[in-house]
Amino acid sequence: MSSVKYSKEHEWITLDGDVATIGITKHATEMLGDIVFAELPEKGSNVEKDGTAGVVESTKAASDVYTPVGGEVVDTNQAIVDDPSKINEDPEGSAWFFKLKMKDKTELDSLMDKEEYDKFAKESAS
């Protein structure tokens, strides 16, 4: 498994072979507050890099979830749909959103590593 990469839209991504697992960062959950609703892309659907691939809602507002890379959705995490509070509890672990089969692995190149993302998140929060 490769190391974790991050997007400017506050998603994280890991790669295992050509299957990417995608979720939202702890920083994103802290900005959103209590998450009470999650909608995920349909299994078998194709999503484009930087396109919308779901929605999360806090008690305050709805936010789109974007996918940092494109491909075919091969799995989604029903557990977070059934209990969205899991996203606040373990955003970068068990509360992943969806897995997709990547078409073009070079799409990963533009993403940030942990150090870059932490710096980015800190700046965008202030």
Partner 1 sequence: MDTKKTSLYQLHQDSKAKFVEFAGYQMPIQYSEGIVEEHKFTRSHSGIFDVSHMGQLFIYGDEDLTNDLEKIFPLDLKNLKLNHSKYSFLMNKDAGIYDDLIITKIEKGFLIILNAACKDNDFTILSQLLNDKYKMILDDKRSLIAIQGPKSAQILNNIINGVQNLNFMTGNWFVFKEQKIYITRSGYTGEDGFEVSISNDLAVKFTKDLIEKGAKLIGLGARDTLRLEAGLCLYGHELGKDKTPVEANLKWAISKERILKGNFIGSDVIIKQLADGVNKIRVGIKPEGRVIAREKTKIFNQSDLHIGEITSGTFGPSVNGPVAMGYIENEFSKKDTKVFLEVRGKKHPANVCGLPFYKKSYVKGAN
The helices-and-strands tally (H runs, E runs) of the chain is 4, 9
Strands 52-58 and 5-6: unpaired
**Separation of alpha carbons 71 and 9, rounded Å:** 18
- Contact mark string toward partner 1, 82..101, x via CB under 8 A: --xx----------------
Residues from 26 through 45 that contact partner 1 (CB under 8 A): 33-34, 36-37, 39
Strand order in the sheet with 52-58: 35-39, 52-58, 62-66
Contact status: 79 vs partner 1 (CB under 8 A): no
Q: Given the complex with partner 1, which of 36 and 108 has the nearer CB atom?
A: 36
Report how far residue 50's alpha carbon sits from residue 15's, in angstroms, rounded to the nearest whole number.
Answer: 17
Tell me the Ramachandran region of residue 114: left when phi exceeds 0, alpha when psi lies from -120 to 50, beta otherwise: alpha
Among 15, 19, 81, 108, which residue interacts with partner 1 (rule: CB under 8 A)?
81
Among 9, 19, 26, 57, binds partner 1 (CB under 8 A): 57
Nearer to partner 1, 68 or 84 (CB): 84
Question: If binding means CB under 8 A, how many residues of this protein chain bind partner 1?
Answer: 15
Which DSSP string do the residues of 62-90 spell out, in sequence order?
Answer: EEEEE-SS-EEEEEE-HHHHH-THHHHHS
Q: How far is the CB of 79 from partner 1 (least distance, A)?
A: 13
Q: Minimum Å distance from CB 29 to partner 1?
A: 10
Least distance CB 18 / partner 1 (angstroms):
30
